[in-house]
Amino acid sequence: MKLILASLIVLIFKADLFAQVSYVPLTKTLPKRSYQLGVSADYFNSSTRIDKDGATQDFENGDSFSRIQSEVSGSYGPVDHLQLTGGVRYRQNSSNVVSPLTGLEENNVSSGVESTFVNILYAFAPIDKMTYALEGSFRFRTFSNQETNASGVGELILGDEGNDYGASFLATYSSKTNNFLSGKIGYKNPGEHISPELIWQIEGAMTWKYLALIAGVDGVSSLNNDPYGNNPTNKPVFYTGSSYLYHGTNRELIAPYAGVNLALGQTWRIELKGSQIISGRSTDLGTSYGFSLIRRVEKVKSNKSDKSFKEYDFEATVTQVSPKKGYLVIDKGLTDDVQKGMKIDFFEFDYVGGNILLARGVVIEVKTESSVVKITQVFNAKNEIKEGVIARGSFR
């Protein structure tokens, strides 16, 4: 046990074992020719139900409902600021109902591929500390529900049938200390027999090189336009078991959540998340627990100095020089994953002799699109450090 605890402590505090992939803000897209692969799973257990009028309907003794679903997805950045995502979702519902007449338990299970989906995310160039993005999504449901028979008997449905599509506006605020506050609001048509909805999300994240702590809230607000609002008797009747999660009238919910992300190696991260539906209507209140394993590979430009053949991951330009040449400002910052403590080399390009190494410095302050570098070594005093000089750095 002591050995296991010691190993965990080493993994947590040995920062150089981890890459800077612990958290990805809602508005951040993959760089050009980069990709991400992920697999996730979550378990939801209902504690009580809320009907279409907002009244609580407790489960009878022996009644219960739970859902397990998993997702496999992949994302690709064909060009900068644009990300395409696709995937497939598998779901299993389990409902237990005790007959009030006979006292017998009836357990119903439905399982299968619930949907395939595509998502498009376009992020605009950052404005100071803010980044804005537009998102479009389409989910193709691969099943259809069977209506109950005259006696009210039928198969437990897998979910809301009909294709799901929508569009959202997203915004992220990035602080100097690599903390983030994001928001999302959008329109969603969730299915064939349900009212269109407004979806919204607020998320805050405290991030480090290898660890991120996340908290937020998801919300669904109905537009109160149920297709059968004026003729409720014409609405199809499907068997939903003991749950109100599916096929409801003007669904709404609020679900706070919290999570922790851990970066592993250069490209992998693990995400753990817990969520609680605390209020709503035409839904179940309950708790969910989720797990994700993600591999994110971001392509970066590699440059070399002509003499030492040292490899670099990014290139910037000096935009400002202090009067005594001790501090410089470069045009790369948080959006390019520059962090405090990074070492930066400064070069002047010479068409005759190649790249001339002028000086070396360390990043002491990082903003969204710029960084301040303190000069620590000067290698060529004859060549003046000035605006336009090339700055090169490495993430390693």
State if pTM tops 0.85: no
For 55-78, give the DSSP string. Answer: -EEPPPTT-EEEEEEEEEEEEEEE
Highest mean pLDDT: which range of 54-58, 104-108, 198-202: 198-202
Token digits of residue 275? 């969520």
**Which pLDDT score is estimated for 101?**
65
Q: Which residues contact 54 (CB under 8 A, 6 or more apart)?
A: 281
Block residue for tokens 């069977």:
146
pLDDT per residue over 137-170, tens digit each?
A: 999 999 999 998 766 678 999 999 999 999 999 9
**Bridge-based pairing state of the strands 64-79 and 56-57:** unpaired
CA distance 279 to 284: 9
Q: Which residue has the higher pLDDT, 18 or 297?
A: 297
Distance between CA 310 and CA 307 in Å, rounded?
A: 8
Report the distance separating Cα 336 and Cα 344, nearest Å.
14
Residues 115 and 195: their CA atoms lie apart, in Å, by: 19
CB 75 within 8 Å of CB 36:
yes
pLDDT surpassing 80 at residue 240: yes
Q: Residue 298 has what pLDDT?
A: 84
CATH no. for 18-297 = 2.40.160.40
Can you give the C-alpha Rg of the chain in angstroms?
27
Q: Is the pLDDT of residue 184 over 90?
A: yes
pLDDT above 70 as % of the chain: 88
- In the chain, which ranges are continuous DSSP H helix? 2-13
Q: Which single residue is written with the structure tokens 């410095």? A: 361
Residue at 30: amino acid letter? L
Question: Is residue 228's pLDDT more than 90?
Answer: no
> 35-44, 96-105, 305-314, 345-354 — which is least confidently predicted?
305-314
Q: What percent of the chain has pLDDT over 90?
A: 63
* Poorest-pLDDT segment among 107-121, 306-320, 371-385: 306-320
Q: pLDDT band for position 132 (50/70/90)? A: very high
Least confident of 16-25, 218-227, 324-333: 16-25
Give the per-residue pLDDT at 314. Answer: 86
In the chain, ranges of CATH 2.40.10.340 domains: 303-393
* Residue at 283: amino acid letter: T
Which pLDDT score, from 0 to 100, does residue 217 have? 98
303-393: in CATH 2.40.10.340 = yes
Q: Which residue has the higher pLDDT, 126 or 74?
A: 74
Mean of pLDDT over the chain: 87
Domain with CATH 2.40.160.40 in the chain: 18-297
